[in-house]
Amino acid sequence: MAQTIWIHRLADTQKAQADGMEYICEHLFQGMQAGKLTKVKGWNPVPNASSKDGSTYRALFCDSCGKNYNNGNVRMAKEPVLA
């Protein structure tokens, strides 16, 4: 059974902090401090992360999500865009 990876959309101003990726995994989202991403061990850009419906996202994953990622197991979180 595949593990669902929840991703959060970044504000345009934060994309540069995430190596140009538009989304981050839940673990990186929880680790954000004062709205800033800190480059930690486990910085895994995935330019074509896909969901079950075939949508693709430019996402940044932590080590855990990077290891568990399979095509189709990404889902959008319902929180608003990070500002």
Domain ranges across the chain: 5-33+42-76
Mean pLDDT (whole number) for 22-51: 84
With 60 as the cut, is the pLDDT of residue 82 above it?
A: no
pLDDT at residue 22, as a whole number: 95
Tell me the C-alpha distance between 21 and 54, whole Å. 18
Distance between CA atoms of residues 17 and 10, nearest Å: 10
Note the pLDDT of residue 57: 95
- pTM, whole model, 2 decimals? 0.82
Across the chain, what does the average pLDDT equal? 84
CB 17 within 8 Å of CB 42: no
The radius of gyration of the chain's CA atoms, rounded to the nearest angstrom, is: 12
Whether residue 74 is predicted with pLDDT greater than 60 in this model: the reply is yes
| pLDDT band at residue 49 under the 50/70/90 scheme | very high
Distance CA 61, CA 66 (A): 5
